[in-house]
């Protein structure tokens, strides 16, 4: 390894012999699983979060992240390998600091960098020689060198010599049983070659495969390419669904048949709209940034528009289906099955179910919901409590499947419901004249 300074050599040694004290700022869906992997690899890990309630919950050994079993967390807490705090001064004693704080959009669809800025300001206060800082939050290309680096260098320490700075995109897919933090290849790019080398060495201790790239900007852009690819392909297939609807063609059958092509095609599926903290948001970080260079990200804007229309399309289709049963939408009871933004997870951030429910309520519909992962659902002005899906199927004028969790007794739903609108093709194997598909 060609690291030159004494700080780099000392840090390299600590990483290799796993005595480096690891810090993770932001203990959510990304930060907590990462913390667990480094604890498992033998490091002493300190998690830092501004939410006191999360900190105390974690120190009691109780997990609030579905992908981190409470038993695993408890093992590392009681074994002294993991602790949480809201006191940033612990950074003084840490060797590595990963930042995994939220990067939402403002209402204007501009990046909200306030969480990154605040976490970096705290890090800068306690920065010192021999520390490795890695930003993991998804963000626009240029964030690490234009925004984070000046904040850290304001401390008087020099990057690549005293401290080391990288960007490494987080690719975790909550609820995915096959790919989790440890076996998803980790891309990392540093400000200087020494930063990249130390970043790669660090991740290699706990994760199966590390992919070093030449700069922080490349690493930032990798994540945006991945998520923009998904968003645009989902937009394309949603537009296909709108076309097929007009032409009376079953879009699901079309996709399944197209997917038999062994090369050059990858299936994406239509649905009630995009959800989650990533796909509906991240591409707008890119389009915001490229506008500054005079480039309009037209694919992103178009896909964003089409995906944004899907909840409206779903509600229109429910209205049509009810009309066919001589029932107006206004005054009807619609039961929404599944409100998480995707199958088998408990996350409702940006979930299209929220839009579908609000649109239905705005049209005078009584809405109930069920979701095995979401016991209560906070909407703009009120809160709903999850109901029993089978009981509700028998009572509602229409059941709408927004999220296709497994473990739901779909056969019983089909048996009891009067009418079902299936936005996910969850009832593919339950043919019935009661079912209307997206
Ligand atoms: N959730 C995913 O599936 C996923 C996947 C890939 C990338 N990402 C990206 O990773 C980043 C984190 O996402 P997440 O889903 O883990 O978010 P999250 O909301 O689950 O967790 C973020 C945590 O950061 C804490 N926090 C906020 N500001 C803080 C600060 N200044 N200092 C310390 N803690 C602070 C919050 O209290 C919260 O616990 C985002 O940029 C997101 O886009 C998320």
Residues 175-183: contacts with CB under 8 Å, at least 24 apart: 175/66, 175/67, 175/342, 175/343, 175/344, 175/345, 180/33, 180/67, 181/33, 181/34, 181/36, 181/37, 181/67, 181/207, 182/37, 182/40, 182/206, 182/207, 182/208, 183/207, 183/208, 183/209
Q: CA 429, CA 412: separation in Å to the nearest integer?
A: 13
**pLDDT score of 199:** 98
Annotated catalytic residue, options 120, 195, 244, 278:
278
Counting ligand 1 atoms within 8 A of each CB, the residue from 36, 90, 102, 223 with the most, and so the one to mutate, is 102
Distance 32 CA to ligand 1 centre (A): 10
100 CB near ligand 1 (under 6 Å): yes
Atom of ligand 1 nearest to the CA of 347: 1
Q: CA 419, CA 373: separation in Å to the nearest integer?
A: 24
- The answer to whether residues 280 and 274 touch, using CB atoms and an 8 Å cutoff, is yes
Distance 61 CA to ligand 1 centre (A): 20
Q: CA 420, CA 422: separation in Å to the nearest integer?
A: 6
Question: Please, what is the Cα angle at 125 between 122 and 127, to 5 degrees?
Answer: 105
**Concatenated DSSP letters of 125-155:** HT--TT-EEEE-S---TTIIIIIIHHHHHTT
Atom of ligand 1 nearest to the CA of 25: 33
- Taking CA atoms, 437 is separated from 87, 241, 244, 251, 257, in Å, by 51, 10, 11, 9, 17
Q: What strands, in cross-sheet order, belong to the sheet with 398-401?
A: 366-370, 333-337, 398-401, 420-422, 435-437
Q: Are β-strands 164-167 and 186-190 bridged in parallel, bridged antiparallel, or unpaired?
A: antiparallel
Which neighbouring-strand residues pair with 133? 97, 165
- The answer to whether residues 276 and 348 touch, using CB atoms and an 8 Å cutoff, is no
- The answer to whether residues 154 and 189 touch, using CB atoms and an 8 Å cutoff, is no
- The answer to whether residues 28 and 277 touch, using CB atoms and an 8 Å cutoff, is no
Counting ligand 1 atoms within 8 A of each CB, the residue from 23, 24, 30, 47 with the most, and so the one to mutate, is 30
Neighbours of 169 (CB within 10 A): 24
What pLDDT digit, counting tens, does each position of 111-163 carry?
Answer: 999 999 999 999 999 999 999 999 999 999 999 999 999 999 999 999 999 99
277 CB near ligand 1 (under 6 Å): yes
- The answer to whether residues 314 and 356 touch, using CB atoms and an 8 Å cutoff, is yes
26 CB near ligand 1 (under 6 Å): yes
Which neighbouring-strand residues pair with 44? 21
Q: Tokens standing for 15?
A: 């990483």
Distance 137 CA to ligand 1 centre (A): 7
Atom of ligand 1 nearest to the CA of 29: 16
Strand, coil or helix: 383: strand
Q: Tokens standing for 188?
A: 């990392």
Q: CA 52, CA 84: separation in Å to the nearest integer?
A: 9
Tokens 């499947």 map to which residue?
401
102 CB near ligand 1 (under 6 Å): yes
**pLDDT score of 1:** 47
Residue nearest atom 31 of ligand 1, based on CA coordinates: 119
**pLDDT score of 413:** 97
Contacts of 388 (CB under 8 A, 6+ apart): 370
Q: Tokens standing for 310?
A: 């899907």
Containing H/E element for 394?
helix 389-395
Instruction: For residue 120, indicate whether it is catalytic.
Output: no
What pLDDT digit, counting tens, does each position of 306-361 carry?
Answer: 999 999 999 999 999 999 998 999 999 999 999 999 999 999 999 999 999 999 99
**pLDDT score of 158:** 96
27 CB near ligand 1 (under 6 Å): yes
390 CB near ligand 1 (under 6 Å): no
Contacts of 232 (CB under 8 A, 6+ apart): 283, 299, 300, 303
Q: Tokens standing for 55?
A: 């900190």
Residue among 188, 191, 193 at smallest CA distance from 204: 188
Q: With a cut of 50, which residues of the chain have pLDDT below it?
A: 1-3
């Amino acid at each position: 390894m060609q690291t030159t300074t004494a700080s780099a050599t000392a840090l390299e040694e600590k990483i290799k012999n796993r005595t480096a004290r690891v810090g993770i700022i932001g203990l959510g869906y990304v930060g907590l699983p990462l913390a667990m992997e480094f604890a498992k690899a033998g490091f002493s890990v300190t998690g830092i979060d501004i939410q006191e309630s999360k900190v105390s919950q974690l120190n009691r050994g109780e997990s609030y992240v579905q992908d981190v079993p409470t038993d695993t967390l408890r093992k590392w807490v009681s074994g002294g390998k993991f602790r949480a705090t809201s006191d940033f001064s612990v950074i003084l004693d840490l060797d590595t600091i990963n930042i995994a704080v939220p990067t939402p959009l403002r209402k204007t669809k501009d990046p909200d960098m306030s969480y990154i800025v605040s976490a970096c300001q705290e890090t800068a206060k306690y920065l010192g020689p021999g520390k490795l800082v890695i930003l993991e939050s998804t963000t626009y290309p240029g964030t690490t060198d234009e925004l984070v680096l000046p904040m850290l260098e304001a401390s008087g320490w020099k990057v690549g010599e005293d401290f080391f700075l990288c960007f490494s995109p987080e690719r975790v897919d909550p609820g995915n049983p096959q790919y989790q933090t440890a076996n998803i290849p980790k891309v990392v790019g540093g400000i200087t070659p020494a930063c990249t080398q130390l970043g790669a060495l660090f991740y290699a201790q706990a994760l199966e495969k590390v992919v070093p790239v030449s700069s922080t900007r490349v690493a930032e852009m990798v994540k945006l390419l991945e998520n923009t690819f998904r968003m645009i392909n989902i937009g394309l297939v949603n537009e296909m669904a709108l076309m097929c609807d007009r032409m009376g063609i079953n879009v699901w059958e079309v996709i399944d048949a197209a997917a038999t092509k062994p090369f050059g095609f990858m299936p994406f599926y239509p649905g009630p709209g995009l959800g989650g903290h990533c796909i509906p948001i991240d591409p707008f970080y890119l389009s915001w940034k490229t506008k500054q260079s005079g480039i309009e990200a037209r694919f992103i804007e178009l896909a964003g528009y089409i995906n944004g229309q899907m909840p409206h399309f779903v509600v229109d289709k429910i209205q049509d289906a009810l009309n066919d049963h001589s029932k107006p939408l206004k005054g009807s009871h619609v039961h929404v099955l599944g409100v998480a933004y995707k199958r088998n997870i408990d996350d409702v951030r940006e979930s299209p179910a929220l839009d579908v429910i609000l649109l239905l309520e705005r049209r005078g519909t009584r809405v109930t919901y069920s979701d095995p992962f979401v016991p209560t659902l906070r909407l703009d002005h009120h809160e709903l409590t999850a109901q029993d899906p089978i009981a509700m199927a028998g009572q509602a004028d229409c059941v709408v499947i927004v999220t296709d969790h497994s473990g739901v007794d779909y056969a019983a739903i089909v048996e009891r419901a009067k009418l079902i609108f299936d936005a996910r093709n969850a009832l593919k194997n339950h043919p019935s004249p009661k079912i209307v598909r997206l």
